[in-house]
Amino acid sequence: MDPLGTVARALHVVSIVVLVGGIAPSHVVAGTARRAADPKTALAMWALWFRIGKVSTVALIGMVVTGVALSATRGYGFFRPDHFWLASKQAVLCVALVVLATTMGPARRAERAVRDALREGGGLPDELRALLRKPARSARIVDALAFANLVLALWRPGE
């Protein structure tokens, strides 16, 4: 493999490790935030969850960019039936990106509301809880799709 391909593959693997490594902590933090009796603890946990989400989003973007580069430079192409495992990964990733893109607006509003509530020292009103539901649900879907993508990469069905 050429030096640029080696760097792209290394960055791809690092992105995957960061993305997968953030899945468990984000679920633990979100669960703690949902179950917290103290509103300030819940708000602090949701703020931490958003920070983990930013790291995971950067890792997902890194995985996509390096994956596209690797597919293009190694001759795999995109959605080719002769590389079923890769076409499956690409399709799963496209779904994950669509879910992520449709959640960005509500997630930003929820993050701002959490930051404002923390700054004001207030509680966690029902409106904010409702606002947090969509990003949290979407994150679980994206995490499941990222895990499915990893399984497809390791299993390589059809190869």
- Confidence check: pLDDT of 5 > 90: no
Mean pLDDT on 3-25? 92
Q: How much is the pLDDT for 124?
A: 85
Angle between helices 3-35 and 39-73 in degrees, nearest 10: 160
Rounded distance, CA 132 to CA 107, Å? 7
**pLDDT tens-digit profile of 6-15?**
999 999 999 9
Mean pLDDT on 41-56? 94
CB 69 within 8 A of CB 8: yes
User: Pick from 131, 97, 91: which is nearest to 114 by CA?
Assistant: 131
- Confidence check: pLDDT of 52 > 70: yes
**pLDDT tens-digit profile of 119-156?**
998 788 889 999 999 999 999 999 999 999 999 999 98
Rounded distance, CA 134 to CA 71, Å? 32
**pLDDT tens-digit profile of 74-107?**
888 999 999 899 999 999 999 999 999 999 899 9
Q: Which residues, other chains included, contact 9 with Cβ-Cβ below 8 Å and sequence gap of 6+?
A: 1, 66, 70
Rounded to whole angstroms, the maximal C-alpha distance in the chain is 57
Tell me the DSSP string of the chain.
--HHHHHHHHHHHHHHHHHHHHHHHHHHHHHHHHH-SSHHHHHHHHHHHHHHHHHHHHHHHHHHHHHHHHHHHTT--SS-GGGHHHHHHHHHHHHHHHHHHHHHHHHHHHHHHHHHHHHHT----HHHHHHHHHHHHHHHHHHHHHHHHHHHHHH-TT-
- Confidence check: pLDDT of 37 > 70: yes
The gap from C-alpha 68 to its chain's centroid, in whole angstroms, comes to 17
Q: How much is the pLDDT for 158?
A: 84
Per-residue confidence at 1, pLDDT binned at 50, 70, 90?
low
Q: How much is the pLDDT for 9?
A: 92
